């Protein structure tokens, strides 16, 4: 099993909780088992990450429901060109 342990200190000004139910294309955004593998849902999460990466001045931490889901999403983001868009802002 893989694990990652990080020490993170963030004041209230560094945390911005969001509730998101639909993406820019009005497609539902959900991590429910039934919807989370839908390419439209994956794309909308990726576009959200691209938009945040463009305005957040430092790093961003993304959490996934499992390593298997993370591998699937990252693979799809790569195929969709989303990772390249994120890298324009963060690397």
**Between 65 and 17, residue with greater pLDDT:** 65
- Is residue 13 scored above 80 in pLDDT? no
Question: What is the value of pTM for the model shown?
Answer: 0.76
pLDDT level of residue 59 (50, 70, 90 thresholds): confident
Q: What is the DSSP letter of 14?
A: G
Strand partners, 65: none
Query: What per-residue confidence (pLDDT) applies to 4?
Result: 66
Q: Would you give the distance in Å from CA 43 to the centre of its chain?
A: 10
């Amino acid at each position: 099993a893989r694990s990652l342990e990080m020490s993170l200190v963030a004041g209230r000004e560094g945390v911005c909780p969001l509730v998101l139910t639909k993406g820019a294309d009005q497609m539902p955004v959900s991590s429910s088992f039934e919807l989370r593998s839908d390419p439209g849902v994956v794309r909308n999460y990726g576009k959200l990450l691209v938009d945040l990466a463009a305005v957040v001045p430092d790093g961003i931490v993304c959490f996934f429901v499992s390593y298997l889901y993370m591998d699937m999403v990252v693979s799809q983001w790569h195929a969709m060109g989303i990772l390249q868009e994120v890298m324009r802002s963060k690397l």
